[in-house]
Amino acid sequence: MRIPVLILLSLSLLLPAPLALAIDSTFTFAGADGPAQTAYAPEKGPGPVVILLSGASGPNWYRSFADEVARLGYYAVLLDGNDILTRKQDGEANLRKAIERAQRSPHAVAGKAAVIGFSLGGGGALAHAVALPELVSTVVAYYPSTRFVTDAGVLVKRFQVPVLVLAGGKDTYNNCCLIESMHAMEAAAKELGARFELVVYPDAQHGFNLEGRNYRRDYEVDAWRRTVETLRVQQPLKAP
């Protein structure tokens, strides 16, 4: 079931600023085609698909990020990371369905999807998206949850697409995303020859790119630049 954009706009007036939906967004409830999503259509016609996976707090904190991805020219689809890194559902199946649904959209061009995850959603990207090379072109994980990782080497062996991790050097939030686990992945990737890049922001805490949390503009700007460059190389916009 789809909610008309005009209704969404009316509802958005009742929400605090961080929760407001972008004008060109469309919300779809969970169903047989996949988990709930908010989709952002590019302004100048169809674009490559970028799937975004929120942190455990849900999609609201990441709507502006998804909107900015769409402004680059991508068809951006924002999912709740709780539907992807979960023991209550089949997270991999949810991600597959979401990608395949996005690929069928008239706002998408044919091809693979890039996946960008944050915190819990970053963990979901590392758990599932990295092992779907037939559907996924690249993964970018902001301060990803690594609680599910018992052996970094076993995880990295699943990496079949290029992976960029953007991590906070002082991230101790709930011990979910410790820098030591990121370095363990980096060491395993070097040993196994996996396509993996780790960028550590030395003084960054969890959610360093989210205003109102542990925001650091200098880190946010650099992380966004690296994200855009990764998309440019691994998920390029089609020539007009």
Section 138-156 average pLDDT: 97
Average pLDDT, the chain: 91
Distance CA 85, CA 19 (A): 23
- pLDDT for residue 213: 76
Quote the CA–CA distance of 178 and 215 in Å, as a whole number. 18
Q: What percent of the chain has pLDDT over 90?
A: 87
As a whole number, mean pLDDT of residues 168-183 equals 97
Model confidence pLDDT, tens digit, residues 10-37:
333 333 333 444 448 999 999 999 999 9
Tell me the average pLDDT across 188-200.
Answer: 98
pLDDT score of 204: 97
Q: In the predicted model, is pLDDT for residue 7 greater than 60?
A: no
Q: Within a 10 A sphere around the Cβ of 24, how many other Cβ atoms?
A: 15
pLDDT, one tens digit per residue, over 65-89 is 999 999 999 999 999 999 999 999 9
CATH H-level, domain 28-234: superfamily: Alpha/Beta hydrolase fold, catalytic domain (3.40.50.1820)
What's the predicted TM-score (pTM) here?
0.89
Residues 75 and 47: beta-carbon distance below 8 Å:
yes
> pLDDT at residue 167 above 90?
yes
Least confident residue range of 98-102, 126-130, 178-182, 208-212: 208-212
pLDDT of residue 239: 54
